[in-house]
Chains A and B, each alone.
Chain A
Amino acid sequence: MISLTSPVKTRAHGWPAGLKLGALCVASTALFMTGNVVVHLAALLAVAVLYTIPGPVFMRAGLRSLRAVLPIIVILLVWHGVTGDPGLGIRITLRTVTLVALANLVTMTTPLEDMIDLIHWLTTPLRRLGVPTHLLETAIPLVIRFTPVLVERAQTLAQAWRARAVRRPGWRLILPLMLQALDDADHVGEALRARGGPLGPHQQE
C-alpha cells in the first residue's frame, strides 16, 4: 500500500521514532507559547531548510503533502483580516504552516514499522494495567490488508451500477459494501479462531 513516507531515504530515517515525535511535541508547544513574529518567521525558515537538505525529490513530495494546508491559510488570513487583526492572522498562518510542515517531516521520515514499534512502547503503561494492547498487533495488519480489498469491492460495485443505470452511483453502494465487509469480518473471525486466536501477548516478542 502507498504510504506517505518519503520516496528518498534520508538520514532522519534512522533516528528513533520516539525522539522525532518528542522533538515535534516540544517544538509545537514552544511555537504555541510564543507570540513573537520573528521567532515564528525563523522557525518557518528553519523548517524550509530542513525540507531542502535531502534534495529536490524529497522537497517535491513534501510540498505535495502540504497542499492541504492552503485552504486553511486562506481562511485564516481572510478571517483575521476582516475581524481587524491582520497581524495576528499572519502570525497564526506562519505558525500553522510551520507546525504542519514539521509534523509532515516526522511522517515522511518514519517508516510504518517504526511507528508501530513506537505505539507498542507508548502503550506499555496500559499493558501493565492489564489493557489487552497486544490485540492492536492483530488489528492493524488486518486494516492495512483489507482497506485495498474493500476499495476494490467499492469500485466493482460502482462499475456494476454504471452498467445498469444512467445515474451516478451514490450512497446506495454503501449498503452492499457494508454487508460484504460484515460477511468478511465473520469469515476473518472464524479464520482467526481456527488459527488459535489473535496473537497473544507472548507470541509477538
Chain B
Amino acid sequence: MERNIAHIALFAAMIAALGLVPPITLAFGVPITAQSLGVMLAGAVLGSRRGFAAVALFVLLVALGLPLLSGGRGGLNLFNSSTAGFLVGYPVAALVTGLFVENVRLHQPGLTAALGAVLGGILVLYPLGAIGMAIHMQISFAEALMLLGVFLPGDLLKAGIAGMLVQALAKVRPETLAWHRSPAGATNPRL
C-alpha cells in the first residue's frame, strides 16, 4: 500500500519533470512534448490501476493551479479551452495502455508496451482530445481528428520510445513490471 502510493506519486512527479523538455507548439495550441510519453509510460510500467492513478493525480495537480504542464502551464484555464479533452483523456489513455499490457502476452515486453502505448496514447486519446476540440472550437469531430493528424508521427515515435524504455526496464529492473512474467526458467543461470 505505501509502496503503491509512493510509486503513483513519484510517477506523477516524473510526468511533470518530463514537461521540462522544451515543447514545440504547433499552430493550434496543443504542444508536442515528452509529457505524453510519460503518460504512455505510466500505463505501461505501473499497469492500469496505478497508471491511471498516477496520471489522474498529475492532471488534478495541474487543475489545482500548479504549473506542471509542459511550458510551465497549469490552472483551470486549460480545462476551459481546446486542450481540455486531452487532459481528461490522459488518465484514460494510461488506463487503456495498462489494460493492454496486462492482458496481452507477447514475447517481447517492449513490443507489448509500444502497442499498448499506440492503443492508449493514440487510438483512445485522440478521439477524446478531438471531442474537446470540437466542442470548444465548434468544428466537427472529423475536422478535429484531421487536425490531430499532425501529432501522429510524433506520437508514434513516442510509443516506439516507450516500448524501448520498457524493454530496457524489463531487463534491468524486471520486478517493477508487475504485468511482465519472464518466460519459463525465469532465473538466469548466469546469476
Contacts and interface: CB of A to CB of B under 8 A. Distances in A.
Contact of B81 (A1, A72, A189, A190): A72
A4 interface: yes
Interface stretch (A8-16, A36-44, A51-59, A100-108): A100-108
Contact of A142 (B9, B26, B173): B9
Contacts, number: 203
A95 B6 CA distance: 41
A34 to B, nearest CB: 13
29 contacts: A3-B67, A4-B67, A21-B76, A68-B73, A68-B77, A71-B26, A75-B29, A96-B81, A99-B80, A102-B80, A103-B76, A103-B80, A104-B75, A104-B77, A107-B75, A107-B76, A112-B66, A115-B65, A135-B5, A142-B9, A149-B13, A153-B17, A171-B161, A178-B14, A182-B7, A185-B6, A185-B11, A186-B3, A188-B10
B9 A106 contact: no
Contacts of A116: 64
Interface in B60-80: 60-61, 64-68, 71-80
B12 to A, nearest CB: 5
A17 to B, nearest CB: 10
B118 interface: no
Given A2-B67, A72-B81, A146-B13, A106 B61 contact: no
Interface stretch (B99-107, B119-127, B131-139, B180-188): B131-139
Consensus secondary structure, chain A interface: helix
Contacts of B57: 136, 139-140, 143
